[in-house]
Structure 1
């Protein structure tokens, strides 16, 4: 049922009744803008009329003009007469063009139709008469002139009222006979509410109704398309859907608009196209140079568009709905659209409009920009950067680059701007574009300044060509150059070359010459101090001095979001290696919050902060939280952005190696290694492959990779076990494979290095693992020393493992002390969020460490009884290999080194009711 069209339907019903009684009819015209519901009204009139029955029932004939059939003779008339029997009306075999003959034939067809009606009222409904073929239009004009003598009611629904109708031709003859004009009006708020309720089955709230009224302008076509789209999307008529409502572009609205525009004259079409391409409200002053029309012609064209309902009346002009603007622009060929955008850009630039407004059109043009357009795009890119609109800035600069001369200074400047824009959003591309720009920069000082702006951590795996530029810039500047500029370049060059033994050794030596009492005064000085203390930490040199300088660098100033673009996080890594976790973690937490607030989660700065934070959590022993954060950060980051990829992989490798909650970490590392564009240094690749292989039970492959990692570490001069305890992990694997001498050599060296560095976690870990590979009183001395070193430190998880190891070693001799240490270990582990931990750092199954499977328990008891593996295999009718595999799991779960340790934990193998 139509909404708020009761008066119109009542009027047509009344004139039909007058035709039935008086034998005379009339012409009724229906007008209104696009989407106002003209066709829907005709449909409702036809439906109401055909419901009548009896000898005086109304005969309804209905048809509409179609643009594609305008040249099809008698097309409208043929469709209109389809309901009549074939013998009722005889149409001409062909359309006559002679006016006299045409009128004679038209009168004959009219008379045959009236004869078939046999005195009944005849309701003729015609939609879009402007698309009717000429012969059908002539017939309709003759029928309109006959309404004074015949019971014919002709209802014509077109876009124009009488004032806007053609002055000559058949349509003019029809409108000249108009007796009633129905100018359809937009729906009121009450009508909008009814449509919403009918569509959703529930009323809309105030905000939703107001949005519907504002966006649709009360036009039923617009309104129906909008509310149906929201219902199809599963939304309810509530305020939360208002934003989606405004963004909706119903296809039905756009299609009808393009059809309506097609009937207009060329100046009107040209004005509509110009307005759509311009993409913003405009008046004749802007549209005139775009269209090539005069101001008066533009004004008349806008009036015609408003009369058609395509644009709203008023100044400046804009389309009645955003879907119309989109559809009109999309109806143009792509090449023509691009040319119009270029024309719009030039017009707006000449009018002095802001660069970002002009750039929008240059971005839509297909051809590479030239001259003035390049400069304007560059200016727009810089303005967008100032606004924080990095996406627009990047698009503008990339477009400008298409027209810049290769190797020229203009291209170099654009590449520098592009590198600046991409620093947060695309750090890998930023470095690449800066490297491309450097040869074209005109002065040495300019090259040095741009290099000094590169975030130090972005140079984790700097390409050799870029490292060479840093070295050259440092030499070119000379001793008389700006001190901060020299310090900034030195910091970045030293960090980029930390993986080379000789430069690394020189950097460590330079750290020894630092004055620990001097406060880093400038950001450049702070960067250099952070790099130097990081190098000393990697080398394991002078822990007290490292602590003083790292604290000064990190805590000397309050954290700011820009710190993620500096080398300060390197000094935080030193604090972590020194077990100064509270200071490091507090700073990283603040940095993460600030970076997120400033740039969002996707920015490179935030990803750096998150990666460092994940490592800090892992060092605390909070492996579940660390694995989750590192995995999520690694997944979101560019796999070639090594500042993030390396730190996340280090974190995940540490978690897998400690094997407390390894599943997520192992899966993430395996997936990362499978990515083609993943980029990490060779030592870290071996580390990752080694810990994953160990976690999968392949000890030999794991050991090979870890030893390769260690060799690469030594070749770089990095030997601090507090940074990477690879010797501990390799020693454990040697022990598992039965190479006791090699295992003890490695762990003894690890202990010596860790003790020299002095950080409790590294020192305690080495002692605890050494104890796990040792038998007798010496093992108890080592694990007790580990507990003493770790007690009160941040190595809580290591302390938990040490207590559990000691508890198991005391099981056979001192059950009370054993239970006390086991309980203490479990308590500490739970404080780290770990429900089950083994002293070797190997994962449990989520149950008590001594909770063996029935098969494992049976085999362990047979071993305790003195039976050999071969005899056990024969008695149980299983393979010798199966026995050995079961025993390996038994030893791991019970935390013992082998068969000789079973007597110490024999009580764990007793039945539950054994007392």
Structure 2
């Protein structure tokens, strides 16, 4: 047994940290000022450099004036989702009465509270972005309600924070300067280099550590101050040695101790403690013993020290290392296979040896100690301890998710019960918004492996779990599941539809279409086959190019035109048919009738609603889009407002909500409310940017926003947006809404790049005509090609396209299409005929909901008439719809007539 340390505690002054501490105190002062300002401070440095001591002192200094919340990352807890967030928030939230707690969460309680273990999940799948938004709201409200004692958040060992907590914190950090909230975070300086090696939770070869390094870099970019802590100088080390061992300590002894420890504060204090334990005289003759003593406080040396404490203490320390943090002495004793009295004695000896601290719960004295003990456990023993810990957690009723971090460390052993536990844990993780944690559990379940009859089901579950985070992995797993026997018919259909969805998300629309068509061919007639057929039609419709567009449209019309919309399958087919007929420029009245039949009392029916997963959000979206382009933007707006509400209530804050805002922008653009359109489109783009890059919703939002900015006369902004998002060829495999090449041609024309505009618009027209897509409101290439051709001096081409646009408009029959076609023809007519055509265009557009196009027609007609009253009206209409450039044109023309 190691000798006991002296009764007097070893003094540990905070040396050479005055500037770092002063920076934090200044930030606390700013937080407590009459005009509080928050922010993020980051301290980084090597292990043992004193980060924890610095945060402890900041906590002490801030505690009298501020409300301090704290958390510490742990190497053994990196796989536990929201572990750090729970440490931070639960102490504050658990003291709140339920009514006040719900007010803190607002309408996000059902979504976010399960992630904090405050309430059971309300559904099988929580949107991760929605959970993060809910955490934003809770922390913001906590910060705002701390009257007189502003909020300080301390996070130590952030390099070991779980991915879910770190992802939230990295996103939330951008809001800190505007909040009365100071976050102080500490992590190892080598975390960027991902130095973690050896056995241990989070250190497996498949552990995703690079995202953590990326998130720490993002946090560093947003910090108001980042400080790298340095080792102690020889002078500071000498002061520390003499304060611990007496002022008569020899200088050579101090110098050797500094050399051995490298000025690392933790190693210095630990080595001093061992010097005191062994009653070593701090004189020059003893300096030679320091190097061996220093080695005993690290790695193998610490393992040797444990052995000196005896086998019982070693087993207890191993059990504690497996449990990680908040160590229950009772559970540790159970894992170590010893009684209570023996466990109490072991804990006492480990406290004396500076391995453990506390009573119940126990903690390791330093993360370096915890790591050294954990890595000293023989692999077979470590695996057995994790297995025992998993069942102990399960027996305690803490749930499969809590046990899963231990099951992840157990060697595969063909155990169906382990597979079942891991599948249950994955479901629990998905329900709280942690799909990556679910993925890890299911990947481990496959290694067990599952029984043959369940293997395909586990692959299916793994594919579904990866859908939100890794479409490529989803494709791989679902294809494997479909290639194996064992999937029930309903699961085969669902797996195929999810496979197609993942392929579509990966810009592989043709493969998505083939996948559902192939499965439909082998599925007997019934609802499942109808669902697969509808999905096939949808993906073919969304493709930018397809093999037999006319044949597909004909087959879809034959299948859907006779339907009444009596069930979800019929409504889905009617939605597809309405969307396709709109694109083809068929009779708009028929398109609207199809849309009406696809809805129930003007709203999506249950089963095909915005949050229904069987048919997907595309079904009601296609109805709304068809309405928007058939002069029914009011109905489209109602549907899209319902989508926003549905996603906000459900906590779907990712791509779905981004798309809903984009669709609302579309409805306002088609109604001619350009200001509102821009507002919703920018919000849709902002939400999309939070999710990823290059998504389908990015293309749609950027396309619509460019069109809106050009309409407002802000061509330079539109170009900057196009360049920033690489809007242009190569186009994605999915169509862009509205037609991307047409909008790019419109932008080029607005920039007076006439030759390029002609080329782009001609190519767009040829591609659309080949597919039979003749809706000039969706794809206004012909209108703009007329103007570009005239600018290039090619009146023959202008006349051909004006006639084509008129023919398409007559077939489609909306007032918007007819008015726009008449405006184009007026460009080629003699003055008297032009005035007549423009008069008719004004009447059509006045009857339409398209206020911007109406304002354009009134301006054109007023200019042709040289009528000041009409010009004044055009200026007023343009101002109302937010067409700033058109307003300026009309006012300038009006000034010339005064």
Distance 1:517 1:507 in 2: 16
Distance 1:245 1:465 in 2: 46
Is 1:204 equivalent to 2:65 in the alignment?
Answer: yes
Is 1:244 equivalent to 2:154 in the alignment?
Answer: yes
In the alignment, is the contact (CA less than 8 A) between 1:543 and 1:757 conserved in 2?
A: yes
Alignment-derived partner of residue 871 in structure 2: 822
The correspondence for 1:346, drawn from 384, 387, 393, is 387
Post-superposition offset of 1:768: 2.2
The correspondence for 1:278, drawn from 323, 329, 335, is 323
Distance 1:41 1:657 in 2: 61
Post-superposition offset of 1:694: 3.2
Alignment-derived partner of residue 732 in structure 2: 679
In the alignment, is the contact (CA less than 8 A) between 1:722 and 1:761 conserved in 2?
A: yes
Unmatched runs of 5 consecutive residues or more in structure 2: 17-54, 73-86, 89-142, 159-183, 188-263, 274-296
The correspondence for 2:530, drawn from 465, 473, 487, is 487
In the alignment, is the contact (CA less than 8 A) between 1:655 and 1:662 conserved in 2?
A: no
In the alignment, is the contact (CA less than 8 A) between 2:330 and 2:340 conserved in 1?
A: yes
Alignment-derived partner of residue 632 in structure 2: 580
The correspondence for 2:834, drawn from 766, 769, 779, is 779
Alignment-derived partner of residue 123 in structure 2: none
Matches within 5 A, 1:546-561: 546-554=591-599, 555-557=602-604, 560-561=610-611
Per-residue CA deviations over 1:765-789 (Å, capped at 9, x if unaligned) read 2222332454401111122111101
Alignment-derived partner of residue 31 in structure 1: 7
Look at both structures and tell me which one has the larger radius of gyration over its CA atoms: 1
Is 1:471 equivalent to 2:471 in the alignment?
Answer: no
Alignment-derived partner of residue 805 in structure 1: 860
Q: 1:519 to 1:576 in 2, by over 3 A?
A: same
Post-superposition offset of 1:494: 0.9
SS in 1 for 2:686: helix
Per-residue CA deviations over 1:2-33 (Å, capped at 9, x if unaligned) read xxxxxxxxxxxxxxxxxxxxxxxxxxx97366
The correspondence for 1:720, drawn from 775, 781, 793, is 775
Post-superposition offset of 1:591: 0.7
Post-superposition offset of 1:199: 4.1
Post-superposition offset of 1:708: 1.4
The TM-score with structure 1 as length reference comes to 0.60
Post-superposition offset of 1:738: 0.9
Alignment-derived partner of residue 655 in structure 1: 708
Greater Cα shift, 509-518 or 571-580: 509-518
Is 1:545 equivalent to 2:571 in the alignment?
Answer: no
Post-superposition offset of 1:269: 5.9
In the alignment, is the contact (CA less than 8 A) between 1:656 and 1:691 conserved in 2?
A: no
Is 1:417 equivalent to 2:461 in the alignment?
Answer: yes
Unmatched runs of 5 consecutive residues or more in structure 1: 1-28, 44-191, 217-233, 812-817, 839-846, 852-893, 895-904
Matches within 5 A, 1:156-195: none
SS in 1 for 2:567: coil
Matches within 5 A, 1:443-482: 445=489, 446-452=491-497, 459=504, 462-479=508-525
In the alignment, is the contact (CA less than 8 A) between 1:305 and 1:311 conserved in 2?
A: yes
Post-superposition offset of 1:515: 5.6
Per-residue CA deviations over 1:737-774 (Å, capped at 9, x if unaligned) read 11112112112211221232122222222222332454
Per-residue CA deviations over 1:721-750 (Å, capped at 9, x if unaligned) read 132121112222111111112112112211
Post-superposition offset of 1:209: 11
Post-superposition offset of 1:531: 1.0
Post-superposition offset of 1:810: 2.2
In the alignment, is the contact (CA less than 8 A) between 2:718 and 2:747 conserved in 1?
A: no
Post-superposition offset of 1:575: 0.5
Q: 1:694 to 1:377 in 2, by over 3 A?
A: farther
Q: 1:834 to 1:385 in 2, by over 3 A?
A: same
Per-residue CA deviations over 1:381-426 (Å, capped at 9, x if unaligned) read 1232234433322332344456769x98766433321332244455
SS in 2 for 1:824: helix
Alignment-derived partner of residue 63 in structure 1: none
Matches within 5 A, 1:725-874: 725-811=780-866, 818-837=867-886
Post-superposition offset of 1:507: 3.4
Q: 1:454 to 1:587 in 2, by over 3 A?
A: farther
Post-superposition offset of 1:791: 0.9
Is 1:619 equivalent to 2:670 in the alignment?
Answer: yes
Alignment-derived partner of residue 49 in structure 1: none
Q: 1:722 to 1:848 in 2, by over 3 A?
A: closer
Post-superposition offset of 1:716: 2.0
- Greater relative contact order (Cα 8 A, min sep 6): structure 1 or 2? 2
Distance 2:664 2:420 in 1: 42
SS in 2 for 1:837: helix
Distance 2:731 2:381 in 1: 43
Post-superposition offset of 1:334: 6.3
Alignment-derived partner of residue 511 in structure 1: 557
Distance 1:457 1:788 in 2: 47
> How many residue pairs are counted as aligned between the two chains?
630
SS in 1 for 2:776: coil
Distance 1:634 1:337 in 2: 48
Distance 1:250 1:646 in 2: 39
Per-residue CA deviations over 1:451-488 (Å, capped at 9, x if unaligned) read 24568797485444443332222222223xxx321221
Q: 1:204 to 1:746 in 2, by over 3 A?
A: same
Post-superposition offset of 1:290: 4.6
Distance 1:792 1:513 in 2: 34
In the alignment, is the contact (CA less than 8 A) between 1:796 and 1:832 conserved in 2?
A: yes
